[in-house]
Chain A
Amino acid sequence: MAALYGEVSWFCCGNSWGPCGTVGHGACGTCNSGSRQHAWPNTSDACLAITRPDRCGESLLRRGCGHVHTTTNRCNGKAIATSIADCGPQTDLFCGERTCCGSVCGSNRVIDLTPSAYSAIGSLSTGLLPAMVT
């Protein structure tokens, strides 16, 4: 897969506290905040009908549960390999959104990591980071 540039965020799943307590284990049924996993916008036709990255000009390959992607935080070069456990993010809700650190920017939300995975490459308090996905 050619490198994909965009924004990475994080989401909670599985057993959790607070508002995250109701979100469940995701579309694959395996998602947990403490595991090295991610959500991908094109896991199925039904998933793609919700996330609609095409409305933002993003053409993402179909990848199923368990497929491994590597996400690199372009602010610091840290990378992590994770497997698909859910459908998301809902890319079309924020078409054109851009996140930068200095002159390095990423546009459109293309991947969501679990808190465990995101915190390995950046601080959870950042919420969004420019990223490269392979």
Chain B
Amino acid sequence: MDRRKLLTSAVLGGAAGIVGATALGSLSPEDVFAAEGATAKINPGDPDPNFIEGRITGITDTVLFVTSSDGSLHSIRVTGGTSIWKLNPTTFDEVKVGDGLYARGLRLADGTLAADSLWVNIVNLNAHVDSIGRGSLNLDHHGQRVVAHVENGRSAAVYNNTPAVSDMSMLEAGKHVKVIGAWHPDTNEITISTVYAAV
């Protein structure tokens, strides 16, 4: 059983002890009906009701309140089965008000998303390396300057076909890179998770 089936099963009350109904609160038949409906076919090009993008405006117990960039408001319920990424796999207590996120899960009848996965502050930038400083790269991303910090023990580089390594010495100013990283909210800075470079 994959994570999504497990979570779905838990939300619908069928999981055996992994994430119980007590973690999610009681669910009405309408919740179940809506959850089943949420798995219906989504046409290519359409918005995905089981996905949310936005910034966290509030946190209570296990619910995140999120405002999407189009102004719409959402609530996201986090359970023991929710995987959370914030530079690395992490725990719910690391999630803060002001963070940006992408969330995938199952939409319930009241509009809440029961989260399967959260990616907090994650960015995927295709950028030009303007210069390389001590412990950071200065990137040009669509004409905007982004400072990408290297964090020892966390940041890794992939050169062409090689496995990820901690050695950043083969990165060059003037080249393009792709960076998976974590944004520092309300700044033009990120911390590098993985930087991909052609050498």
Contact = CB atoms under 8 A, between A and B. Distances in A.
A21 interface: yes
Contact of A16 (B43, B45, B53, B119): B53
19 contacts: A10-B124, A17-B183, A18-B183, A18-B185, A19-B144, A34-B51, A35-B48, A36-B48, A81-B44, A94-B178, A96-B160, A97-B161, A115-B53, A119-B102, A123-B85, A124-B119, A125-B180, A127-B124, A127-B196
A33 B146 CA distance: 20
A101 interface: no
A96 B199 CA distance: 10
Interface string A4-20: 00000111101111111
Given A97-B196, A98-B161, 19 more contacts: A12-B123, A16-B69, A18-B123, A19-B183, A22-B144, A34-B47, A34-B53, A36-B42, A36-B45, A93-B126, A94-B198, A115-B53, A116-B47, A116-B102, A119-B51, A119-B104, A119-B117, A124-B102, A125-B85
A19 B196 contact: no
A20 B126 contact: no
Contacts of A49: none
Nearest first, the 7 closest Cβ-Cβ pairs linking A and B are: A15-B69, A83-B45, A17-B100, A18-B183, A116-B51, A83-B44, A98-B161
A35 B47 contact: yes
B54 interface: yes
Nearest to B146: A19
Interface in B163-186: 176, 178, 180, 183, 185
Interface string B121-143: 11111100000000000000111
B52 interface: yes
Interface of A: 9-12, 14-23, 30, 32-37, 66, 68, 81-83, 85, 89-90, 93-98, 115-117, 119-120, 123-125, 127-128
A14 B123 CA distance: 14
Contacts of B61: none
B194 interface: yes
A85 B119 CA distance: 23
Contact of B51 (A16, A89, A115, A123): A115
B77 interface: no
A93 B183 contact: no
B97 to A, nearest CB: 13
A89 B124 CA distance: 12
